[in-house]
Chains A and B, each alone.
Chain A
Amino acid sequence: MIARHRTRAIAGLAFAALTAASSIVLAQPEDDPVAEYRAMMGDDNPAEFWVMRGEALWTTPRGPASVSLEQCDLGMGPGVVKGAYAHLPRYFADAGEVMDLETRLLHCMVTLQGIPREEALKQRFGDGARESDFEALAAFVAEESRGQMLDVPLDNPAMEKAYALGKEMFFYRAGTHDFSCATCHGQTGVRIRLQQLPNISEAEGARAAYSGWPAYRVSQGEVRTMQWRLQDCFRQQRLPQLEFGSEASIALTTYIAHNANGAVMDAPGMKR
C-alpha cells in the first residue's frame, strides 16, 4: 500500500513535470517533452514500483496450487529470469507455440499456479482503480534483462512463420482509413503532430521502439506492455480490438523484436 501511494505521488509529479515540459515544446516544436522529463527525473523511473511489485508477485505462492512463479520457464530454464526477456518471443516446445513475455506469464499462471485463464486475463491492463499483475510481472522480468543484447533468432519453423505473419500484418491495410502499421511506422524521420515515429521495418527504428518496452507511460501513470502498445495502435488504425496474447499479436511482436536484434535492452523505459 505504501508503495502504491508513493507510485501515485510520483505519477502526480510526472503530470506536473510533463505539463511544464509541454510549454517548452510550444516554443520549440522540435523538442521532445519526454526527453526533458527524463532529464529532470535523472535515473528515476516510476516503473521501479512496478518492478518491486512484480518481484513480489513472482516469489509469492498464489492461485489454487499455492505456488510461486519461481519455477516458471521463460525460455532459459525453470526459474531463470536474468536475461530471459532479451530472448523473447521464442518457441516453447512445452506449449507447441511461439510466445511473448505476457503470453508466457499467462501460461505459467495457468499451468503452475492453477489460476483459471479467464480470471488471469481479467486485469491484463491496469486501469487506475485496479492494478495489473501482467504489467508488474513484465516490468520485473524486463528489468532483469536491462543492458543485455536483444537476440531473437528465427531458429525454427514456428519462429519463421510467426515473423512472416507479423510482417504481413505490418503492411496489411484495412479499415475506414486504409491504415497499416507501416502507414506511420514504415518510413524514417517523419512524425504525427510533434510525435517522432520510429521506422519499425528497419533495425535502427525497431531497436529504438522495442528496447524500451514495457514502459512507464507518463500520460497514463501506468506501466504498459508491448501487448498494450499493439492493441492501442490497432485502435488508432480504426480496426477491431487486437486480443491479448492472440496469434497476430505475438507474430507482430516477433516481427518487431527480430528487426530490433542487437538492441541493448533498456526496459522498463519511460514513454510519453
Chain B
Amino acid sequence: MNRAFTLAGLIGAAIMLPALASAGLAGTNDGAGAVLQQSFTAKGQAGMDRLDQDEVQRLCSRAPDGPALSEKEYAEIMASQEASVRYPADGQYLGDWRAGEKIAQNGKGFQSSDDPAQPSGGNCYACHQLARGEVSYGTIGPSLYLYGKLRGNDAETQRYTYAKIYNSNAFLPCSSMPRFGHKGILDEQQIKDVVALLLDPQSPVNAE
C-alpha cells in the first residue's frame, strides 16, 4: 500500500484519538492529526470539528502523485453521495432567478469572520461564468453561460441540476465544487433559486 494513502488514513485516526498521536513530527508521521489539533484554534463559527474529515474528504485528499481513486472507491462515493440528495417534497425545482443571482454573487458564509445570522451565498461567480453581463467570473469550473438554453428546461434537467448543486460528488467524485445541500451551505429554497438562475428562460444566464 502506498505510503501517502496510509498517511491519509492515519490522519483521520489521529484526529479522533489525539491523545494517542505522537507529539509533533518526531519519529513517525502519525502525529499529523495531533499537529492539526495543535496548530489551529476555534474562531467564530469555525469550530475545531471543521478539521474532521468525512469519508469523501478523506478519499479526496490524496496528492496527485499518490494513488488515484480505485474504480470501487469512485463508485462508492457516487452511490453514497447520490443517496444523500434530498429532493424537494413539493416536486418543484425552479425558484426565483433574481434571488439566485444574488446567491451566485454572494461569497459570504461560514468563514470565521462571517456573521452566522446573515444568509450564506453560493459564490458561483468565483468559479463559473454565468450571466453574460458579469465579467468578473472565475474559471475553476466550466462556463455556465447559456446553460438552460443549451440543455433545455425539462423536468429531468431540473432534477439533475438541483442534485448537482445539492451534492456535486454524486456525479463527479472529488469535484472542486462544494456540496451545497449536503453540507447545509444553501437551503432548499436557495438551491431552487440557483436552479432557476441556470434554467429559467428569463434568466440573464440564458440571454444571448
Contact = CB atoms under 8 A, between A and B. Distances in A.
Interface stretch (B51-59, B87-95, B153-161): B51-59
B184 A176 contact: yes
Contact of A239 (B4, B40, B140, B183): B40
B48 A238 contact: no
Contacts of A97: 24
Interface centre among A186, A192, A235, A240 (most CB of B within 10 A): A240
B61 A190 contact: no
Given A176-B183, A191-B139, A246 B50 contact: no
A6 B81 CA distance: 56
A194 B51 CA distance: 29
B66 to A, nearest CB: 8
Given A168-B32, A246-B39, A173 B111 contact: no
Given A174-B50, A240-B50, A192 B140 contact: yes
Contacts of A178: 56-57, 60, 178-179, 183
Nearest to B141: A190
A73 to B, nearest CB: 22
B205 interface: no
B25 interface: yes
B172 interface: no
Interface in B37-74: 38-43, 46-48, 50-53, 56-57, 60-64
Contact of B29 (A164, A192, A239): A164
Contacts of B43: 240-241
B170 interface: no
A248 B40 contact: yes
Interface secondary structure of B, over-half rule: loop
A242 B110 contact: no
What's the interface size class on B, roughly?
35 or more
Contacts of B11: 168, 172
Contacts of A243: 39-41
B110 to A, nearest CB: 5
B48 A240 contact: yes
B35 interface: yes
Given A26-B135, A193-B138, A240 B41 contact: yes
Contacts of A171: 61-63
Contacts of A241: 40-43, 46, 112
A120 interface: no
Interface in A135-168: 158, 161-162, 164-165, 167-168
Contacts of B126: 192-193
A26 B136 CA distance: 8
B113 interface: yes
Contacts of B125: 193
Interface of A: 26, 29, 97, 158, 161-162, 164-165, 167-180, 183-184, 186-187, 189-195, 197, 201, 234-236, 238-243, 246-249, 251
13 contacts: A171-B62, A175-B110, A178-B57, A178-B178, A190-B140, A191-B139, A192-B127, A193-B137, A235-B111, A240-B112, A241-B40, A241-B43, A249-B39
